[in-house]
Amino acid sequence: MMKQKLSRNVIVAGMAAVAIAALLGLAGCSTTAGVEATGKTTWDEQGARSLEKNVVFNNSGLKGDIQIVDIKSAMAGDVMRTQATLRSKDKDTLPFQYRFEWYDGSGLEINSGAGSWKPLILYGREAKTIQAVAPDSRAREFKLKIREPD
């Protein structure tokens, strides 16, 4: 009986170790953004549209490699368009992936998970502009996510 209980504990401990190893393996993958740039449409008392911008670096390596030079947004009819200009701070080739996520005026994500990661290469000190159009007219905010390639 004691041997059976010990055996069961070893199996449970082994399964826990496998689960933890799997979680740690996933954490090492490039599933989260190293850089997040957000833009939110606001209107002042006179009805003039403006864009609140914020950039967060979650990866110190990317912070030293990529500069977000500019973020712009405009309405094309009733659909939000945005563009961001990225610059390599490095003299070497810099491959990465990016995607845009869209949110309505309440901060709820539109078409959750629908945007795929797109590859982009910046060569030494090069600047490129990337663009996107919201999936529908509810979009009032966006988030540009940048990560190292898988």
pLDDT digits (tens, 9 = 90+) for 59-93: 888 888 999 999 999 999 999 999 999 999 999 99
Mean of pLDDT values over 117-142: 95
More confident residue, 40 or 114: 40
Residue 126's SS3 state is coil
Partners of residue 110 on adjacent β-strands: 102
pLDDT value at 24 more than 70: no
Helical H segments across the chain, by residue range: 2-28, 60-65
Helix spans in 55-141 (H): 60-65
Position with higher pLDDT, 28 vs 81: 81
Q: What does pTM read for this prediction?
A: 0.70
Assess whether pLDDT exceeds 80 at residue 148: yes
